[in-house]
Amino acid sequence: MSFKENPFLFIGISLIGFIILFTLITPLFYKVSPFEIDLENRLLPPSKKYPLGKDELGRDELARILYGARISLLVGFTVVFISAVVGLIMGLISGFAGGLIDEVIMRLVDILLAFPGILLAIALIAFFGPSLVNLIFALVLTGWVGYSRLARAQVLKLKEMDFITAAKAIGAGYLRILFRHLMPNVLPFILVQASLGIAGAILAESGLSFLGLGVQPPTPSWGAMINQGRNHLFDAPWLTIFPGIALLITILGFNLLGEGLRKIYTPKEWE
């Protein structure tokens, strides 16, 4: 597939690749601690020595953005991986088993969907306390339901097709039908949803960190950095602009990647 046929895919991969390479390669030659405080040079504007300036405690902004990228990507990939695996398995079981099992799983999904995801995550983090582990747990608890409903919808359609009937006729077991015949046909839809879900998870992490419910200081997080920088919008706007740009590029990259994958894997169902 060429760039002209699917520009979203190539632009998305390029943006994500840029963020990942920038995060991995830059610290190799820009060896500055994101935690080092230098009050004499607080709110220093961008310069040749400090490309993105310094914050209100004199900490290097570039080093903190690089470190914050690791947090955002870690949360995004971890949340989506766990959510997708749990949601896929629950959706496969619910759609194929039907009956009481389907009712129980779907009612659980309905209960979780009845609460706004971000509000439920805020409540859970407020109850258990703000930390990286609790943040991931809260986002996973609210994130798997979308994958479950998507997987179930595809299974309900697929299990009526001839190849499933043939598998049952030759005596294929329950697990073999689920994981050998149904899962490969459901995975493309999950993959598209997951690529979009990473952007959502990163945005949710940034929003919760902005509210002080995510990663705790002094660990840098893009959301927390934007929150800290809003007090200096007029005298030090770079404290908000640069982490905001990093967040924008990352989320845009994953959204474009998801749109590109949608055109490859699900051209008819998703058009």
- Burial pattern 37-74, b for ≥16 Cβ within 10 A else e, equals eeeebeebeeeeebebbbbebbbbbbbbbbbbbebbbe
pLDDT the model gives residue 266: 65
pLDDT the model gives residue 115: 80
- For residue 79, pLDDT over 90 is answered with yes
Query: In whole angstroms, what is the distance from residue 20 CA to residue 43 CA?
Result: 27
pLDDT the model gives residue 269: 45
- For residue 31, pLDDT over 90 is answered with no
- For residue 80, pLDDT over 70 is answered with yes
pTM score, two decimals?
0.88
- Cis-peptide, bond into residue 218, ω within 30° of zero: yes
Q: Report yes or no: 183 and 88 within 8 Å, Cβ to Cβ.
A: yes
- For residue 270, pLDDT over 50 is answered with no
**Ordered domains of the chain (ranges, CATH):** 73-265 (1.10.3720.10)
CA nearest 254: which of 191, 195, 193, 188?
195
Mean pLDDT on 139-144: 90
Structure tokens at 170: 């030759």
pLDDT the model gives residue 2: 59
Mean pLDDT on 163-170: 78
Structure tokens at 138: 């809260």
pLDDT-derived band at 75 (thresholds 50, 70, 90) equals very high
